[in-house]
Amino acid sequence: MIMRSLMFGILGILQLCAWNLWADKPLSAHPDAKKFIQYMVKTYHFKSADLTKILDQAVFQPKIIASMERPYEKKTWDVYKQLFLTPERVKQGLLFWQENQESLAKAQKKYKVPAQMIVAIIGIETLYGKHQGTYRVLDALTTLAFHYPKRAAFFTKELKEYLLLCREHNVPPTMYLGSYAGAMGKPQFMPSSYRFYAASFDKKNKKDLMHNNQDVIASVANYFHQHGWQLNQHIAQQACLLKQTASINTHYKKAHYRYQALTAAGVKPLKVLSNPPQKAGLITLTTHDGLEHWLAYPNFYVITRYNTSPQYALSVYLLAQQLQHQRLLSLKKETHLPHEPKLS
């Protein structure tokens, strides 16, 4: 343990030295940035002078590196879910659902994704657009592409997609704001997702995920649809372990096991389903009081394509359940309200 701590300390010092080395120099002078510019010129026909000017406007953000090292997903499940499953998020979600019910119904019909899942995603991501991020996307992506080696390949790709997106939208790359990871708009799409999955009901070329709720709803639904969402299929259910299940891998990225194989191995759902999905996975979450176990079905792993954390996916599912329950109660209450007498 001491050696491991020492190793991470040395790596941290080396990384800090690397940051200081380039802190006062134009980003275009960075060796990796030079290679990136050459690649973009050769492959996508950008002008070298234009890209150099763009990259030199980027500002290194040390706080972004710090945020990457302490993500929400490192919190225990009982703490994590309290951050997102709040009365305010449900209240705002019901309001968003009411105001956008036509677009949500249209999305469900076209993409076969239920309204409550779309509303839950937008609620978890940005509280329905209230918290879209305060970093310039250019700053976030360049900081992570050129100053965060362990994720450099991923964020270099996203920087490429971002510059292509800005060119397609005919806007300067300094324009958009987003999260510390470079996610954008009300649904917090990374630039690659924005380019490949953003959708609109009127088939316009430029989709607006910052302000246009119709585009936001269509895009989230399309993302789920493209990743294999199955309408009217179960998502997850809590379970208990009747015996040790050391042979079951809880880290698969898909529903790896047959449902019957998991139950035979001692995984017992707290509520028996009459027609459970054929495939399932097991996830185990740490809480202050011990471990919590859930059977996860194919639709659950579709949510993890949005964010790989099982805690995130489960929060989306549970928020969607709360939203659906409260909306049904509200509609039922409206149905039974006495009609007001007409004034003569």
- The catalytic residues are 125
What token pair was written down for 275?
Answer: 């027609």
CB contact set of 182 (below 8 Å; sequence gap of 6+):
135, 137, 140, 141, 144, 155, 158, 159, 162, 190, 191
**Closest among 300, 329, 344, 326 to 116, alpha carbons compared:** 326
Please state, in angstroms and as integers, the Cα–Cα distance from residue 60 to each residue in 25, 26, 161, 184, 267, following that order: 11, 10, 19, 19, 48
In Å, how far from its chain's centre is CA 149?
Answer: 22
Burial of 292 (0-12, 13-18, 19+ CB in 10 A): middle
109: tokens are 């019909």
Is residue 305 within 8 Å of 227, Cβ to Cβ?
yes
Q: Which of 255, 219, 237, 253 is nearest to 113 (CA)?
A: 219
Percent of the chain that is helix, strand, coil (3-state, to 5): 55, 10, 35
Element (H, E) at 293: strand 290-296
CA distances to 98, 314, 320 from 238, in Å: 30, 10, 16
